[in-house]
Amino acid sequence: MVAVIRTSRRLADGREILYFDREPRPYDAVDPRDLPPVATHSQLRYDALLGEWVAIASHRQTRTFLPPADQCPLCPSRPGHPSEVPESDYEVVVFENRFPSLATGVARNVLPSAPGSPLAELRPGFGRCEVVCFTSDHDRVFAELGADRARLVVDVWAERTAELSGIDGIEQVFCFENHGEEIGVTLSHPHGQIYAYPFVTPRVEKVLGSVRRHREATGGDLFADVVAAERSGPRVVSANEHWTAFVPAAARWPYEVQLFPVRKVPDIPALGDDERNAFVEVYLDVLARFARRFDHPMPYIASWNQAPVRTGRDDWWLHLQLFSLLRAPGKMKYLAGSESGMGAFITDTNPEDVAEQLRNVKTTGERASQGAPATEGRNESGVEPEKSVVVE
């Protein structure tokens, strides 16, 4: 395995910061800021009807919101402009979120249940929320990182997943990236986040239930059956020897691609060198297609689905969901009545058409408007622009 060098330091308020490199670098800058200690009072409340935990993190209302670029807290520090990263440059850096929803040092003195509701069990908001800066370059997006840096990010995801999985009480590690102001990203510097949850998330619980039911009904492996079918099906967007990227048959987002390794592994740390390099190749290709589908790069959410730390690991198959809430330029898909109220998704894009559109995007050369379906043509041409966000 390609070696990663990790250097651990502390920020002024005691939070940990980790620098990741291929070559040794001296990291000796001291955080000069006068920061109050991080005080986290998050709590988890149990929704007894849905059987799900909700994190109540009311202290996050004061967090930094879209600061000017010259005050970016994720850029390296400059004289007179101390940031979250004390060094003057870095490759990939990880630090604990200053406004975490979950923290290992959370206040433990919570009531056993919510006031007046004995079924709404309470727990401290224990866990960890980390920020991962992909590059010190404020203006570079993940799609433009290049293969070497993207591979380093994969290795960092693996290292963080392994370490956070080792914390007593952590049940699932979630690496993700929210990209684009349209979906509520509060900092434009290229970065992702990692949440270490003290419970198995509802999506993973639900998928594991489907895997078990499929095995009982057919004797087969649901993940294996899906991956095998999609790899040779009509919705493949990009693929190589080790990975397949396809639009899922029942895609719920206007643009959605799932990336599955060909080999069944539970999580990112289980990926070998060749599989990590092959992931980077396919992922950068798919991101380039997302970036060039329309005249303006699509906002997206990239969401790693990893096995829980303790349960269901033998059943799980690692995959990445990449999806955009943009259905056409200037038109966001909002989770309205059916989706928000009932969890029943209604989408007006056809998965096979979306796969074809993404396959047809030219990923090199001049950016050009791609062949759009007739129903969207007038929006793309700008003849009848709709600048405002349309709520579905």
From the CB of 80, what's the least distance to Zn ion, in Å? 16
Contacts of residue 15, Cβ cutoff 8 Å, sequence gap at least 6: 38, 95, 96, 98
Choice between 138 and 263, CB closer to Zn ion: 138
Q: Kindly state whether residue 131 participates in binding Zn ion, applying the rule CB under 5 A.
A: no
From the CB of 69, what's the least distance to Zn ion, in Å? 7
Tell me if 246 sits within 8 A of 356, measured CB to CB: no
Segment lying near Zn ion (by CB under 5 A), choices 169-177, 188-196, 294-302, 343-351: 188-196
Beta bridge partners of 17: 9, 95
Segment lying near Zn ion (by CB under 5 A), choices 66-74, 251-259, 272-280, 384-392: 66-74
Residue 46 main-chain phi, psi, to 5 deg? -90, 125
Q: Kindly state whether residue 252 participates in binding Zn ion, applying the rule CB under 5 A.
A: no
With helix as H, strand as E and coil as C, how does 222-264 read?
HHHHHHHHHHCCCCEEEECCCEEEECCCCCCCCEEEEEEECCC
Q: Which of 295, 232, 275, 230 has its CA nearest to residue 257?
A: 230
Candidates 38, 55, 74, 302; binder of Zn ion (CB under 5 A) is 74
Q: Kindly state whether residue 140 participates in binding Zn ion, applying the rule CB under 5 A.
A: no
Candidates 38, 75, 93, 106; binder of Zn ion (CB under 5 A) is 75
**Active-site residue set:** 191
Helices (H), the chain: 147-165, 202-218, 222-231, 273-292, 342, 351-360, 377-381
CA atoms within 13 A on the CB side of 161: 24
Candidates 55, 72, 94, 133; binder of Zn ion (CB under 5 A) is 72
From the CB of 177, what's the least distance to Zn ion, in Å? 15
The residue nearest Zn ion at its CB is: 72
Residues 288 and 323: their CA atoms lie apart, in Å, by: 13
Choice between 53 and 90, CB closer to Zn ion: 90
Choice between 138 and 252, CB closer to Zn ion: 138
Choice between 72 and 270, CB closer to Zn ion: 72
Choice between 139 and 225, CB closer to Zn ion: 139
Q: Kindly state whether residue 138 participates in binding Zn ion, applying the rule CB under 5 A.
A: yes
Residues 309 and 307: their CA atoms lie apart, in Å, by: 6
Q: Kindly state whether residue 189 participates in binding Zn ion, applying the rule CB under 5 A.
A: yes
Residues 239 and 229: their CA atoms lie apart, in Å, by: 14
Q: Residues in the site for Zn ion, rule: CB under 5 A?
A: 72, 74-75, 138, 189
